[in-house]
Amino acid sequence: MSVSPEEHERALAVLLAHRAAHRLPLTKATMGLRSVVKTEHCVVEVSQRLKRVPTIIEKLTVREPTMQLANMQDIGGCRAVLDSIDEVRRVQRRLSKNRPPLRVSDYISESRRSGYRGVHVVVQYDGRPIEVQLRTQVMHEWAITVERLGGRLGEDLKSGYGPPEVLDLLGGISEVMAIEEQGGVVPTEALTRLSSLREAALPFLGGGHR
């Protein structure tokens, strides 16, 4: 389907106005999250972001082509990085009590295929959905490493795109980090497997750690 420059410009203007309309609801959600985190006596590490235009367009055209802009629930997102799974659950409970969530995605009980872990709670402020991400420091370390590596490789690794060797390694690392975080002991076989996965992924890692 061809789109004229005028149509493209009009569509972009709609997208930008829609994104900007999330500003105040997002700030309210962030303030609400800060307050809940503080009430639960956790260290307050909370930030917010409005989704990037290229990411919005990619989601609407490639990743979820049946999705409509008006239905996207993560144009505005905020994030708390907490110390433990217990803290995540406490904050999650209090958030849900304060404001019934539109949706809860529990990627701690069941991680995403990529290995991503965390809890996403979609709450509504001023009629706009805002995605609240709750992560532990351990989950955060994995996620930021994957985001950074994905950027370097030009692949959306977190959504499961990219060289299978890299995705398998990241998934394997997430598994062992999850075991340790929950107080378990990583089986020797898992460590051996991780070592092979690392060997296999090395050529695809794009030059190693910067």
Partner 1 sequence: MTDRIQHFLLVFDHQAGSLIQTREYGEDADAAIAAYAATEAEFGDRKDIEVVLIGSDSFETVKRTHANYFDGSVSVSKYLAGI
Q: Enumerate binding residues for partner 1 (CB under 8 A).
A: 16, 19-20, 23-24, 26-28, 30-31, 34, 44-50, 52-54, 79-81, 137-138, 140-142, 144-145, 147-149, 151-152, 154, 169, 173, 176-177, 194, 205, 208-210
CB of 135 to partner 1, least distance (A): 9
CB of 149 to partner 1, least distance (A): 6
Dist CA 78 CA 96 (whole Å): 15
Dist CA 52 CA 146 (whole Å): 18
CB of 53 to partner 1, least distance (A): 5
**Nearest to partner 1 of 112, 152 (CB atom):** 152
**Nearest to partner 1 of 54, 66 (CB atom):** 54
Question: What's the number of CA atoms in the CB half-sphere (13 Å) around residue 109?
Answer: 5
- Provide the 3-class DSSP secondary structure of residue 97: helix
**Nearest to partner 1 of 50, 104 (CB atom):** 50
CB of 24 to partner 1, least distance (A): 8
Q: By the 8 A CB rule, do 95 and 102 touch?
A: no
Angle at 33 between CA 17 and CA 123, to 5 degrees: 55
**Nearest to partner 1 of 66, 183 (CB atom):** 183
Dist CA 124 CA 95 (whole Å): 12
CB of 27 to partner 1, least distance (A): 5
- Phi and psi torsions of 113, nearest 5°: -55, -30
**Nearest to partner 1 of 26, 88 (CB atom):** 26
Left (φ > 0), alpha (ψ -120 to 50) or beta: where does 117 sit? beta
